[in-house]
Structure 1
């Protein structure tokens, strides 16, 4: 529902009756390890000469129509999202929300959740991006608002991190699930060691608080290569895909380049590093079409069985573990046999809390299934390699 800021009707460049005058475009956020889309940022475009967001939002703020503009942007986007397939809506949608709108009583009075429900959506479909460029002055307020939004089911992200002066304060008190690096920290990062050291420290921080760090504004392969080396796994920008009227996936050319870039990280960092292939054990696997009951029966009849890999042909399709059977994980960690053990140890430990101790599926260069490596194996061997290196 559109909620007017005052009794005066909104101008036509915002609303034409009940129709928003703005349009929505979508830009994917990609997991570089798997090439999967983990979310889509929703961006707004105004009509005519107000097409650029900076022009559109500046005019709305100057004329006192910020709320009308935000509601127009949301309505336009939600209408579009409601027409998408379930698969296209699998990843959440990231919406920019300025502090003044988030703190407006009308945002939290239930009308926003009602607007979502009108289009068959829930708060879990959305991540609210709080921009650092317009910071909260009331710290207690941001704590209360972000907790309230999280309790309703919204995801929370801190946008443009590094662009303003209050980012650390906002970060500490909003405890976001996602931290989006401002493109100023990403631009030409391959040329400046200071930026690299800063981003590397943020990677370590994000990992310690279990937040997903996303690099925005990635435009060149030189930038991407350095971000990968520093530990950045999630990216967004023109290099991956330009904003489009409907959610898109990166094209085949990007996927091929991404795969090559990831393989470049697999080489051994030290002479005594070993590759994952030396640890692989070919364990029980079944056809992906196997009925769930048959898979469940395997665990009941084999007390030592820890997990089963389901294959389509010779390629891994899903992983079933005893702990979560009969649920199938169709996105297990899959790596090539040439990856260094120490590299895999770092990658594996960055998984979410519910899958961090799952076995790792190993394939060859063509993607054919070779076997699995358990976390017990991995931790034991990587520790041995580290101790051998430090004892010299």
Structure 2
């Protein structure tokens, strides 16, 4: 027993020596792992992590922090890690968040508070709105009153609060209920293998629902496979982090374009599987350019502009084509209110007064998704405008009124004009979508789907089986949609798919392949073997009809432009007839 104790003491002594060496030489370097939106793959922020920079002092990172706890050196180690992380933060892009890990028993230390004054942050070119304190639970909270008091102080200063390792640790849901954080990070043990574990999925869904109702966004960390990512997207988790998306690096790097495409593809596929949601427009369609101000413009100049232009109620602050903040007329009037308001602030630059904590969304995000996120904001931010980006550049602004009006109108249209069998949008909604394309300037390809020999099948197999064929086609169209394609059911065996891009051939071919592989499952074996069924034609004459196929006619605006829906309808009808004259599956796109 004494020998074992001596070994333990020797190990502890070695650990202590290594830690002392790290602290004395300041051998810590920061690395930053991206945290990204699971809607469009855009970088939300970076978690600052620590690595030992001198190989002579090798130690596991978690073991290093445990050793610091044991040696009462937690403050010194965390201060060193934070200092190193902040020194490099001058290179972070405007508007992106910096996540800093903080021991729950250090956050209320006065020395910690002194390190996060406005003056100290200005040294690093940072704003409190863009700093998230990530509360770690390596140890139990010793003084809960001091801890909660400190949390409330930082929240009042516009710092963000995230609770790490939700689902593990000492305090768990009690901390969440008391702190009411802005973000929660799912423990990586819940994320690992979530695609294969139904219990983990149920727990995750419960946390998503809880977050939605409580106004707390969820981050899944430790994502290591595409299947895990896909499952988390299906469960509507807000943000993701992990080695599959991006490894920790010494510079602030976005995830690769390939990973962004994967996220967009899975999100679009998940989104398109819900037929109700397929008729929601993307937020870019509602966006208006709004009024923009350069970040280095003087406040007095802006005040004068608003005075002579009463229609400007809010404006975006833009720097190098990116939105970095916004302000409303009411905000500016409040700043200038009071006896000395104008003289105190008139000579300042707008970037000193603007609000940099705003909702930033991608142009292609569906309106109902934006609405859900917008309604999760704190009460005082609920009616702030939403800033829209396209290809990482400022595109425009959407008011909450416009957002809610759009959602309400769509809900009414869905209830009144959806096909009862397939649940897909019907003729009125289809016509509105076609009109929005032919009168717009964006690329499109409108494709028309007709099932060949459907009537013969319906007559021979009965209406119930005919309905099964219609549902099969609807499901295939939705399954193949990965780019927010609009899918409608005109009626009978006619469907329409609107692609917001010119090259629809790949989508159409994928539909044909799936249809050909699955359609025979609706036929009797003897009919499949013979390759036809016996039924009556429209004139009552018995004849042989081949197994059902698809005729697809499509028109894009790459070479065709229309001024009214009548001309378009005439051309698509002629193209459809041309397809129908050919036997078997056919695609004609002009």
Paired residue for 1:112?
115
Partner residue in 1 for 2:81: 73
Look up the match of 2:407: 379
Q: 1:45-80: per-residue Cα shift (whole Å, max 9, x none)?
A: 234353421121122223332222112212222222
Asked whether the equivalents of residues 157 and 178 of structure 1 are also in contact (C-alpha less than 8 Å), the reply is yes
Asked whether the equivalents of residues 121 and 127 of structure 2 are also in contact (C-alpha less than 8 Å), the reply is: no
Alignment root-mean-square deviation, CA: 4.7
CA distance in 2, matches of 1:308, 1:146: 32
* Shift in alpha-carbon separation, 1:201–1:258, aligned structure 2, 3 A: same
- Aligned partner of residue 266 in structure 1, secondary structure: helix
Correspondence list, 1:178-257, <5 A: 178-257=183-262
**What residue number does 2:140 align with?**
135
- C-alpha displacement of 1:348: 5.6
Deviation at 1:41, TM superposition (A): 0.8
Highest RCO, 1 vs 2 (Cα 8 Å, sep ≥ 6)? 1
Which secondary structure state, in structure 1, belongs to the residue aligned with residue 116 of structure 2?
A: helix
TM-score by length of 2: 0.51
SS in 2 for 1:244: coil
Query: Which of 168, 171, 176 matches 2:176?
Result: 171
- Deviation, 1:167, is 0.7
Q: Residue 29 in 1 paired to residue 35 in 2?
A: yes
Q: 2:60 aligns with which of 48, 52, 55?
A: 52
In structure 2, the CA distance between the partners of 1:281 and 1:56, relative to structure 1 (3 Å rule), is closer
Count, aligned residues: 368
Q: Name the residue aligned to 1:6.
A: none
Q: Deviations over 1:90-122 (max 9, x none)?
A: 42321111223234x4545x5423798288136
Is 2:164 aligned against 1:156?
Answer: no
| Structure 2 alignment gaps of length 5 or more | 1-15, 333-349, 421-590
Bigger Rg over Cα: 2
1:345–1:388: structure 2 CA closer, same or farther, 3 Å change rule?
farther
Counterpart in the other structure of 1:312:
none
Q: TM-score, normalised by structure 1?
A: 0.73
- More off after superposition, 136-145 vs 205-214: 136-145
What secondary structure does 1:101 align onto?
coil
Is contact 2:105-2:142 (8 Å) kept? Answer: no
Per the alignment, residue 101 of structure 1 pairs with: 106
Paired with 1:149 and 1:22, the residues of 2 have a C-alpha distance of: 26
Contact 1:28–1:236 (8 Å) recurs in 2: yes
> In the TM superposition, what is the alpha-carbon distance from 1:283 to its structure 2 partner?
7.0
Aligned CA distance change for structure 1 residues 62 and 376 (closer, same or farther; 3 Å)? closer
Uncovered stretches (5+) of structure 1, i.e. residues with no partner: 1-9, 310-314
Q: What secondary structure, in the 3-state scheme, does the structure 1 residue paired with 2:215 have?
A: coil
Q: Secondary structure at the match of 1:134?
A: coil
Distance 1:266 1:80, change over 3 A: same
Secondary structure, counterpart of 2:43 in structure 1? strand
Superposed counterparts of 1:271-310, under 5 Å: 274-276=279-281
Conservation of the 8 A alpha-carbon contact between 2:234 and 2:267: no
CA shift in 2, pair 1:229/1:116, >3 Å: farther
| Cα 1:21–1:385 shift into 2, 3 Å | same
- Higher mean C-alpha deviation, range 23-32 or range 344-353: 344-353
Q: Does 1:42 align with 2:48?
A: yes
Residues 50/264 of structure 1: CA separation in 2 closer, same or farther (3 Å cut):
same
- Rate the CA distance shift 1:50–1:102 in 2: closer, same or farther, 3 A: farther
Sort the Cα spacing of 1:11 and 1:355 in 2 relative to 1 into closer, same or farther, 3 A: same
Q: Which moved more, 1:133-142 or 1:205-214?
A: 133-142
Q: Retained in 1: the 8 A contact 2:38–2:239?
A: yes
Which protein has the bigger helix share?
Answer: 2
Relative to 1, partners in 2 of residues 1:377 and 1:44: Cα closer, same or farther, differing over 3 Å? same
Q: CA deviation at 1:308?
A: 10
